[in-house]
Amino acid sequence: MKCSSVLVCVGILFLSLGSSSGISEDDVKCLKGIKQSVNDPLGKLNSWDFNNTSVGNISKFVGVACWNDCENRIFNLKLQNMKLSGSVPQALEYCVSLQNLDLRGNNFSDDRLSGNTPYQLTSLSRLRKFSVAYNELSGAIPPLFVHLNVGTIPNHQSSISKLKKFSLVNNQRRGTIPSSVSAHDFAGNRGLCGGPLGTKCGWFSKNNPAAIIFAGLSGAAASLLLALGLCGSKLRAVLFATLLLNWINKSQS
């Protein structure tokens, strides 16, 4: 059995020398870049030892699964619940053989996973599943994920068209999402609004902190007037305007 396994590996290596050596080098570059760029307080990536340059070594790394043990082409990258933080690594763009990418349950907050098409994903033409759920990512939802959700991929984003399942739930995303999308992939982002989420957009949205403060000030003003027994319309207007101007000045300072 050992001999046959060795022969299989030798055969795979021989066939891949001309076509995938560059891919293998890119995949190693991907992992090196990830390890160098993220904060890893639990030392989960300490097993990623690049001093061993033998082919297939990276398949033994925590969270890494290669297509087979005889080459360095990554199939799965599962780094969930490791308390990793920092930016979503730019080096992911070199994991060109990747099909499944799981970054959920970490503390990524410096959001570079943005733009019309996040550059980390543009070269991952084989990617089918992607999750950054339960992180701290902020900013607007990249249009790519809206297109993927409704199943309409523009030509300029066709390189990522195989991505069929993704999750951005429970982050700090904000903005409006179209009524045509499914809320399932975007739930738990308190700053998002739109029809499918059941929350209104605009100044009076319940998620708008300015509206919350304004409502609180209005209530306080009304309570004060009632307590003082001052019900004249002119006095109420003056007091209300004073409170409003005070709030505007504080919010702009």
Report which listed range, 20-24, 138-142, 157-161, is most confident: 138-142
Quote the DSSP letter at residue 6.
H
Decide if pLDDT at 17 tops 90. Answer: no
23 alpha-carbon distance from chain centroid = 25
**CA–CA separation, 135 vs 128, rounded Å?**
20
pTM value surpassing 0.75: no
Q: Specify the higher pLDDT residue, 149 or 217.
A: 149
Q: Which of 79, 76, 86, 77 is nearest to 105 (CA)?
A: 79
Calculate mean pLDDT across residues 228-253: 56
**CA 132, 138, 141, 142 torsion-angle sign:** negative
Decide if pLDDT at 41 tops 90. Answer: yes
CB-based contacts of 205, cutoff 8 Å, min separation 6: 193, 199, 211
Decide if pLDDT at 20 tops 50. Answer: no
Calculate mean pLDDT across residues 83-89: 91
Least confident of 13-22, 67-76, 84-93, 133-142: 13-22
Q: Residue 154 corresponds to which tokens in the numbers above?
A: 């523009």
Report which listed range, 70-84, 105-119, 141-155, is most confident: 70-84
